[in-house]
Amino acid sequence: MPNIKIFSGSSHPDLSQKIADRLGLELGKVVTKKFSNQETCVEIGESVRGEDVYIVQSGCGEINDNLMELLIMINACKIASASRVTAVIPCFPYARQDKKDKGFFDIPVDNLYAEPAVLKWIKENINEWKNCTIVSPDAGGAKRLTSIADRLNVDFALIHKERKKANEVDRMVLVGDVKDRVAILVDDMADTCGTVCHAADKLVSAGATKVYAILTHGIFSGPAISRINNANFEAVVVTNTIPQEDKIKHCNKIQYVAVRTHECV
């Protein structure tokens, strides 16, 4: 049985360290730098021969650079005769374009779900959760929506949206009832947050007493923070698949669930 070694890419070292701490392991020694022509260089600072190697690199920040860094780290470990190399990618880059299904690779992929952390947060932080409605901001999240609603034994609703173009919603129609209920919006990611903030307004106008948003990946680009600050949210909850410390400084509505232990911060 090979020993486990964990290496961190440069995208989210804090999460990598927390994973290693949870497992009682030390992070492996690795140095990443760039040559003068901006090519990425990675040096693995210890032997991985015959080892079971895990590389943690999230799809955030400088996404293209971080993706290339991950590929170079994988190659470096394979060349150094690692027994097995597994990439742990908390936030999958290019997932919005479904590239993971279009020939980027043909190796086994396990999709990890944040649902247990979501359920725990709801039960521990929303006193009225038994009188809530789980809401998906689009029809594409129906499977995720019904799974959470079934686990909580509560009602669900969804919002049908029509877009003029990417990141711009033209019209929203609520399908379901949220009157005199807590509404909990659930989605897999939030980028510029135009859709989810518009959805919050729709739910309030439909009679929801409070609105929460639980979003697996908080990308929060462009005007996202300003929009959240001005929206009708009690809280916007994300996982720590992407670093959020800077965003939290500018928006006290943002909270995160630590995916490593399901603890809330």
∠ CA 115-117-121, rounded to 5°: 115
pLDDT of residue 7 exceeding 70: yes
Determine the pLDDT at residue 113. 85
Determine the pLDDT at residue 187. 93
Is residue 200 packed enough to be buried (19+ CB in 10 Å), middle (13-18) or exposed (0-12)? buried
Q: Is 105 helix (H, G, I), strand (E, B) or coil?
A: coil
Determine the pLDDT at residue 112. 85
- For 122-174, give the DSSP string: HHHH-TTGGGEEEEESSGGGHHHHHHHHHHHT-EEEEEEEEEEETTEEEEEEE
- Closest by Cα among 163, 183, 161 to 174: 161
pLDDT in tens, 92-139: 988 776 555 555 677 888 888 889 989 999 999 999 999 999 999 988
Q: Identify whether the C-beta of residue 131 lies closer than 8 Å to the C-beta of residue 182.
A: yes
CA gyration radius, the chain: 20
What topology does CATH give the domain 114-163+170-257?
Answer: Rossmann fold (3.40.50)
Number of Cβ within 10 Å of residue 108's Cβ equals 6
Number of Cβ within 10 Å of residue 102's Cβ equals 8
Q: How confident is the model at residue 1 (pLDDT cuts 50, 70, 90)?
A: very low
Q: Identify whether the C-beta of residue 47 lies closer than 8 Å to the C-beta of residue 63.
A: no
How far apart are the two ends of the chain, measured CA to CA in Å? 36
CA 156, 162, 165, 169 dihedral sign is negative
The domain spans of the chain are: 4-88, 114-163+170-257
pLDDT in tens, 52-68: 999 999 999 899 999 99
Determine the pLDDT at residue 261. 47
What topology does CATH give the domain 4-88?
Answer: Rossmann fold (3.40.50)
Mean pLDDT, the chain, whole residue set = 89
Largest pairwise CA distance in the chain? 61
CA gap 88, 65 in Å, rounded: 17
pLDDT of residue 224 exceeding 50: yes
- For 186-245, give the DSSP string: EEEEESS-HHHHHHHHHHHHTT-SEEEEEEEEE---TTHHHHHHTSS-SEEEEETTS--H
Residue type, 66: N
Q: How confident is the model at residue 171 (pLDDT cuts 50, 70, 90)?
A: confident
Q: Mean pLDDT throughout 252-257?
A: 94
Q: Is 45 helix (H, G, I), strand (E, B) or coil?
A: coil
Report residue 217 as tokens: 């990946």
Report residue 121 as tokens: 């947060």
pLDDT in tens, 176-220: 999 999 999 999 999 999 989 999 999 999 999 999 999 999 999
Q: Mean pLDDT throughout 162-184?
A: 81
Q: Mean pLDDT throughout 140-145?
A: 85
